[in-house]
Amino acid sequence: YCRLDFPMKAASGISFEKLRVFFYSAKWSKFSKAAGELFVTEGAVSQQIKDLEWKLGKKLFYRRKTKLELTDEGKVLLELIDPLIYQFDSLFDDFLDLANDFQGSLKIAATQSLILNLLPTVFHRFEKEHPGIKIIAFNRPPAKIVEMVHSGGADLGVGPLVAIPEDLEAKQLISSPWVLIAAPNHPLSTYKTITP
């Protein structure tokens, strides 16, 4: 198993947490309110936004005396990430609902991509709200996740949908709005149907 103490990274090198900081700063139009929602300091929020703007090479907010105002680039970014942040935060709420009854430790089996890219932030927030519960994550392929939960080797499993035995409960946590986009002359554009 592995303990999860590393930041989640997006493919571009921008952490998902920076995008969440941007989302809540845009939602509240104030760094202070975003900081309260994210349980961090206002200075940390401001620094995350500065770093995000530097990495993107775009100004995302106009800093006014009483509130923040999105730039045109900020509005575009907000529109792109809004459904992702909403689904991510819904995942956290669903995770809390599933895990609320546990005490001591919580063993979770998940795929490597989820362990590396999505779950660290969820686990970090969970451990902040439930400091008495230690999370242990097991890196397993989808079929093995089901086996571990079925045998009691893991309390919960998170992964892509596979055949679930009738004596186990399964709940869909995320329905992705993502699509594959290809230029008209790209070889993938000739396919009528593309499956992951």
SS3 147: helix
Residue with the two structure tokens 């660290």: 120
Range from 20-24, 120-124, 188-192 carrying the lowest mean pLDDT: 188-192
pLDDT in tens, 138-154: 888 887 888 888 888 88
Distances (CA, A) of 144 to 2, 48, 115, 148, 173: 16, 37, 15, 6, 19
Give residue-wise pLDDT tens across range 20-69: 899 999 999 999 998 888 888 899 999 999 999 998 999 999 998 889 99
Give mean pLDDT, residues 126-138. Answer: 81
From residue 95, how far is each of 17, 40, 88 by CA, in Å? Answer: 18, 21, 11
Of 138 and 104, the one with more pLDDT = 138
Q: Are strands 68-70 and 105-110 parallel, antiparallel or unpaired?
A: unpaired
Beta-bridge mates of residue 9 = 15
Phi and psi at residue 148, in whole multiples of 5°?
A: -65, -45
Kindly report the pTM of this predicted structure: 0.48
